[in-house]
């Protein structure tokens, strides 16, 4: 057996060797017209097979063009291309391939195993020149070929390129520099028509000879050539010198083309002049044939930004409005909303009216006419055309989409999309802030426009007002028919029909009988974190509201002072107005901080400082024992108020482990929780089990049920 194995091994090696020698020669392909040798052997990967993605995610294709695959395909040798589908392999290309080499095109065609009863697999690889594809090139699969048994690929590489001529593409003049090299193509050419009626085309490249390929079989030094209706190629000029400036005009001259056959012309050979016209906004343009066909002097003109001086291009770029970005003129900070583009967003108003919009660009569907930025989905009314001209105002950047469909007032509909700095943790969706018959305003809180986010916690991190922040509604204080709308550390949530300044955190208005508001006054923007005053009370200040009526040099501001009141979260109260400042007070447990408490029988906890008392005995009345189960399936039992028989001297237990006896009671008013901490439970490795129960007040849940927060390991 042993010997047989060894023999077999040698046999395979022999066959492989012969095969390699045979096969490499077909990969040296000679182009017949200009006798260019393409040595595709260089595309062989001697280390491993080349792998490319197949059409589906579960498919991949292994390839060697000029030698057998290094690895077997479906356990067999002799393939150049192998399709892997999940765990299965199919030999879709056997060696050697058939090579078609004519009219400047080189195709490798492989035939493989049976695909179905009628056909075998077939792989066609088109070899294309790309002077920039130097190392480790791979073929690319052209997707969705119509026939299921056929695969088409394009392999771009420098190996498929012939000799070339290149020229320096820069020129300087009176301190101006010009660089046409951005126009140079390395795997393709510019093709333009010679006049409207003739089927002839002019093929050209810039500062580089024409790329030789199917349909562009120009001579190797030719920078421009003509293909006539009989598919003959006439050289219109070789790549010679650098661009020149002639009479203030940037030009390229390709000279020494084919012999001029017009006997009435003095010139002996054909030449071409390309004259460039600087246009800072001309991108992706093509040259145009002007005249000269008869005179053996072809003249082309090309309007392009590439022909502008490097200096003018730089200035132009600096002055161009940045798209979907704006700079705060005060702080010089730039906001870029590019990341919000290319997505659809929706806003809904009552009675199911839905608007759809995009940021800085048009919607892609056809509900509204194309080129619409905001669309009323219900009936396809355009509410404005998009632009990326982000504008600046105090509260944040905004877009004004104008020129929508005609409205009843004879004017075009428009939409304002306004961005304000949002809370760090929450993800906001856009909402409608104001709605008028012919225009409306979308309000969008986002982190992208936060210059200086207001932290809602005092600098010493002691008092955190975050629990008072309200995303969906504001605190409303009514005094003498006036209403104050207030939020904490953040802009007001949108209020129907109330047009408080966008981004302001407090606002005063008078409600009229028909649900409208008048005398709307901005009481300030949230610009600073809360501070502790000299009496150690928390204060919050809003600045830069509406102009102060008593002093036109000042703007209205608001001062909110928070007092500890353990009983509830509370409400702001209006106190006074003086010195262009509205003063509010707010009694709330949030600023009380944490206070220890004590336990008394049967089930009462009491705050030692404020004598705030909670009776927990309902926990026992409804269910003697409460249970929670961990993800691992362990069941924990809680018997906080009952006698300790259930858990043998403990309030919390799991199996035979008890999780300690009550050690501390903490009333944390700032976080709005009460904590019962248990310690000295049964032995756990080298220490003992401990536990903590947190109570969160919620008036809607009754006695509620315990949830397991976490279990330490």
Ligand X SMILES: *[C@@H]1O[C@H](CO)[C@@H](O)[C@H](O)[C@H]1NC(C)=O
User: Could you list the residues that contact ligand X (CB under 6 A)?
Assistant: 28, 39, 41-42, 56-58, 85-86, 168, 170, 331-332, 353, 376, 378-379, 381, 400, 402, 414, 416, 479-480, 482, 541, 559, 574, 578-579, 581, 583, 680, 686-687, 698, 700-701
Of 129, 100, 121, 130, give the one whose Cα is nearest residue 54.
Answer: 121
Strands (E), 362-403: 374-376, 381-384, 391-393, 396-401
CB of 191 to ligand X, least distance (A): 25
Instruction: For residue 346, give both structure tokens.
Output: 């929706």
CB of 658 to ligand X, least distance (A): 9
The answer to whether 630 and 655 have CB atoms below 8 angstroms apart is no
Bond from prior residue into 275 cis (ω within 30 degrees of 0) = no
Q: Which is nearer to ligand X, 264 or 700 (CB)?
A: 700
Q: Which is nearer to ligand X, 129 or 270 (CB)?
A: 129
CB of 245 to ligand X, least distance (A): 14
Q: Which is nearer to ligand X, 289 or 689 (CB)?
A: 689
CB of 625 to ligand X, least distance (A): 21
Q: Across the chain, how many H-helices and E-strands are there?
A: 3, 55
Could you give phi then psi for residue 82, rounded to 5 degrees?
-135, 125
CB of 378 to ligand X, least distance (A): 6
Q: How many CB atoms lie within 10 A of CB 642?
A: 18
Q: Which is nearer to ligand X, 18 or 663 (CB)?
A: 663
CB of 359 to ligand X, least distance (A): 16
Bond from prior residue into 96 cis (ω within 30 degrees of 0) = yes
- What are the residues whose beta carbons fall under 8 Å from the beta carbon of 532, sequence distance 6 or more? 458, 460, 462, 463, 538, 539
**Dihedral of the alpha carbons of 180, 181, 187, 188, in degrees to the nearest 10:** 0
Q: Which is nearer to ligand X, 4 or 701 (CB)?
A: 701
Q: What is the 3-state secondary structure (H, E, C) of 416-483?
A: EEEEEECCCCCCCCCEEEEECCCEEEEEEEEHHHCCCCCCCECCCCCCECHHHCCCCCCEEEEECCEE
Between CA 128 and CA 213 the distance in angstroms is: 7
Q: Which is nearer to ligand X, 285 or 577 (CB)?
A: 577
CB of 451 to ligand X, least distance (A): 12
Instruction: For residue 394, give both structure tokens.
Output: 């105090």
Of 216, 206, 176, 401, give the one whose Cα is nearest residue 309.
Answer: 176
- What are the residues whose beta carbons fall under 8 Å from the beta carbon of 242, sequence distance 6 or more? 167, 168, 169, 170, 171, 207
Q: Which is nearer to ligand X, 165 or 282 (CB)?
A: 165
Q: Which is nearer to ligand X, 60 or 111 (CB)?
A: 60
Q: In the chain, what's the furthest Cα-to-Cα distance?
A: 123
Q: Which is nearer to ligand X, 339 or 579 (CB)?
A: 579
CB of 609 to ligand X, least distance (A): 24
CB of 41 to ligand X, least distance (A): 4
Q: Which is nearer to ligand X, 41 or 312 (CB)?
A: 41
Q: Which is nearer to ligand X, 148 or 602 (CB)?
A: 148
Report CA-CA distances (Å) from 550 to 65, 483, 546, 556.
Answer: 86, 21, 12, 10
What are the contacts of 310-315 at 24+ separation with CB within 8 A? 310/176, 310/177, 310/178, 310/179, 311/175, 311/176, 311/177, 312/176, 312/278, 312/280, 313/280
CB of 155 to ligand X, least distance (A): 16
CB of 516 to ligand X, least distance (A): 19
Terminal-to-terminal C-alpha distance of the chain = 57
Q: Which is nearer to ligand X, 409 or 515 (CB)?
A: 409
CB of 673 to ligand X, least distance (A): 11
What are the contacts of 217-223 at 24+ separation with CB within 8 A? 217/33, 217/34, 217/103, 217/104, 219/34, 220/34, 220/36, 220/162, 220/163, 220/164, 220/165, 221/165, 222/254, 222/257, 223/165, 223/252, 223/254, 223/272
The answer to whether 492 and 507 have CB atoms below 8 angstroms apart is yes
CB of 56 to ligand X, least distance (A): 4
CB of 181 to ligand X, least distance (A): 7
Q: Which is nearer to ligand X, 142 or 168 (CB)?
A: 168
CB of 297 to ligand X, least distance (A): 27
Residue 563 pairs in a beta bridge with: 587
Q: Which is nearer to ligand X, 285 or 661 (CB)?
A: 661
**SS3 state at 59:** strand
The answer to whether 305 and 315 have CB atoms below 8 angstroms apart is no
Q: How many CB atoms lie within 10 A of CB 347?
A: 20
Instruction: For residue 205, give both structure tokens.
Output: 């490249």
Q: Which is nearer to ligand X, 42 or 193 (CB)?
A: 42
Q: Which is nearer to ligand X, 276 or 289 (CB)?
A: 276
Burial code (b: 16+ CB inside 10 Å, e: under 16) for 169-181 equals bebeeeeeebbbe
Q: Which is nearer to ligand X, 299 or 546 (CB)?
A: 546
CB of 428 to ligand X, least distance (A): 18
Residue 636 pairs in a beta bridge with: 628
Q: Which is nearer to ligand X, 215 or 362 (CB)?
A: 362
Residue 376 pairs in a beta bridge with: 355, 381
CB of 35 to ligand X, least distance (A): 13
Instruction: For residue 207, give both structure tokens.
Output: 């500062």
CB of 207 to ligand X, least distance (A): 9
Quickly list DSSP for 265-305: SS-SB-EEEEEEEE-TT--S---EEEE-TTTTEEEEEEEEG
């Amino acid at each position: 057996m042993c010997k047989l194995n060894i023999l077999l091994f040698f046999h395979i090696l022999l066959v492989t060797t012969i095969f390699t020698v045979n096969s490499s020669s077909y990969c040296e392909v000679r182009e017949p017209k200009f006798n260019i040798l393409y040595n595709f052997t260089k595309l062989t990967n001697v280390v491993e097979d080349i792998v490319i993605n197949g059409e589906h995610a579960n498919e991949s294709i292994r390839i060697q063009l000029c030698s057998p695959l290094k690895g077997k395909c479906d356990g067999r040798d002799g393939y150049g291309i192998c399709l892997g589908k999940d765990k299965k392999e199919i030999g879709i290309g056997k060696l050697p391939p058939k090579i078609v080499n004519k009219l400047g095109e080189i195709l490798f065609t492989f035939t493989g195993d049976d695909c179905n009863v009628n056909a075998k697999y077939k792989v066609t690889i088109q070899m294309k020149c790309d002077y920039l594809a130097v190392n480790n090139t791979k073929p690319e699969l052209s997707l969705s070929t119509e026939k299921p048994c056929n695969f088409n690929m394009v392999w771009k590489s420098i190996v498929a390129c012939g000799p070339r001529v290149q020229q320096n593409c820069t020129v300087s003049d009176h301190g101006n520099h010009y660089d046409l090299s951005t126009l140079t193509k390395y795997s393709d050419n510019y093709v333009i028509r010679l006049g409207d009626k003739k089927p002839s085309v002019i093929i050209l490249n810039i500062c580089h000879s024409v790329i030789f390929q199917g349909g562009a079989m120009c001579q190797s030094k030719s920078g421009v050539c003509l293909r006539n209706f009989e598919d003959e190629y006439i050289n219109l000029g070789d790549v010679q010198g650098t661009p020149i400036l002639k009479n203030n005009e940037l030009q390229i001259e390709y000279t020494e083309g084919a012999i001029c056959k017009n006997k009435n012309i003095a010139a002996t050979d054909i030449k071409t002049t390309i004259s460039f016209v600087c246009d800072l906004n001309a991108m992706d343009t093509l040259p145009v044939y002007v005249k000269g066909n008869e005179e053996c002097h072809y003249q082309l003109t090309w309007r392009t930004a590439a022909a502008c001086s490097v200096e003018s291009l730089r200035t132009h770029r600096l002055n161009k409005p940045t798209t979907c970005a704006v700079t705060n003129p005060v702080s010089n900070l730039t906001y870029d909303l590019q990341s919000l583009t290319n997505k659809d967003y929706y806003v809904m108003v009552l009675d199911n009216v839905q608007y759809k919009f995009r940021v800085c660009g048009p919607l892609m569907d056809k509900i509204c006419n194309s080129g619409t930025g905001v669309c009323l989905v219900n009936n396809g009314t355009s509410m404005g055309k998009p632009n990326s001209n982000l504008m600046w105002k105090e509260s944040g950047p905004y877009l004004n989409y104008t020129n929508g469909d005609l409205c009843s007032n004879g004017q075009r509909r428009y939409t304002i999309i306004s961005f304000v700095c949002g809370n760090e943790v929450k993800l906001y969706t856009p909402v409608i802030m104001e709605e008028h018959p012919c225009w409306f305003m979308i309000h969008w809180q986002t982190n992208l426009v936060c210059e200086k986010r207001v932290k809602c916690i005092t600098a010493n991190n002691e008092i955190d007002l975050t629990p008072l922040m309200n995303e969906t509604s504001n605190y409303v204080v009514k005094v003498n028919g006036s209403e104050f709308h207030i939020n904490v550390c953040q802009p007001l949530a949108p209020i129907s029909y109330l047009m408080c300044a966008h981004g302001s955190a407090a606002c005063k208005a008078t409600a009229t009988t028909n649900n409208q508001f008048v005398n709307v006054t901005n009481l300030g923007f949230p610009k600073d974190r809360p501070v502790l005053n000299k009496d150690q009370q928390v204060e919050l200040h809003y600045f830069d509201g509406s102009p102060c009526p008593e002093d036109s040099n000042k703007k209205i501001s608001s001062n909110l002072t928070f007092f500890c009141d353990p009983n509830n979260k509370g409400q702001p109260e209006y106190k006074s107005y003086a010195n262009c400042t509205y003063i509010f007070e707010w009694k709330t447990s949030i600023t009380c901080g944490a206070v220890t408490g004590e336990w008394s029988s049967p089930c009462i906890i009491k705050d030692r400082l404020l004598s705030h008392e909670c009776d927990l005995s309902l926990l026992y009345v409804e269910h003697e024992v409460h249970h929670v189960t961990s993800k691992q399936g362990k069941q924990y039992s809680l018997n906080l108020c009952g006698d300790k028989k259930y858990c043998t001297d403990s309030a919390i237990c799991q199996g035979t482990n008890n999780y300690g006896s009550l050690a501390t009671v903490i009333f944390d008013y700032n976080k709005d929780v009460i904590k019962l901490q248990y310690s000295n439970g049964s032995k756990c490795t080298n220490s003992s089990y401990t536990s903590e129960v947190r109570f969160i007040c919620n008036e809607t849940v009754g006695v509620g049920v315990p949830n397991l927060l976490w279990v330490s390991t």
